[in-house]
Amino acid sequence: QMRKFGVEVIPTVWNREVLPDLGPRDFIIVRSPWDYLENYESFVEWVDGLPEERVFNSRAVLKWNLDKSYLRQLEKNGIPLVPTKWVTARDETEVRLAVEFAFPGRAVVIKPLRGAGGAATYRLTPGEYPPVGVYPGRSALIQPFLPEIIRDGEYSLIYFSGKFSHSVVKLPVPGDFRVQESFGGQISLRSPTLSDLEFGEAVLSQLQNHFSEQELPFYARVDFVRVEGSPHLMELELLEPDLYFHHAPEAVDRFVEALRVKLRGVSA
Question: Taking the model in full, what pTM does it have?
Answer: 0.93
Task: Please check whether residue 62 is in contact with residue 30, taking contact to mean a CB–CB distance below 8 angstroms.
Answer: yes
> 268 falls in which pLDDT band (50, 70, 90)?
low
C-alpha to C-alpha distances, 260 to 23, 154, 172, nearest whole angstrom = 17, 31, 36
Q: Buried b / exposed e across 177-215, counting CB within 10 Å, b at 16+? A: bbbbeeeebebeebebeeebeebbebbbebbeeeeeeeb
Q: How far is the C-alpha of 33 from the C-alpha of 111, rounded, in Å?
A: 20
Closest by Cα among 219, 218, 169 to 192 = 169
C-alpha to C-alpha distances, 213 to 12, 74, 224, nearest whole angstrom = 27, 18, 25
Task: Please check whether residue 37 is in contact with residue 114, taking contact to mean a CB–CB distance below 8 angstroms.
Answer: yes
Q: Prior bond to 57 cis, omega within 30? A: yes
- Tens digits of per-residue pLDDT, 109-155? 999 998 877 788 999 999 999 999 999 999 999 999 999 999 999 99
pLDDT higher than 80, residue 20 = no
Main-chain dihedrals φ then ψ at residue 205, nearest 5 degrees: -65, -25
Q: How far is the C-alpha of 130 from the C-alpha of 95, rounded, in Å?
A: 8
Task: Please check whether residue 143 is in contact with residue 84, taking contact to mean a CB–CB distance below 8 angstroms.
Answer: yes
Residue type, 253: D
Coil/strand/helix, residue 247: coil
- Tens digits of per-residue pLDDT, 157-170? 999 999 999 999 99
pLDDT at site 267: 62
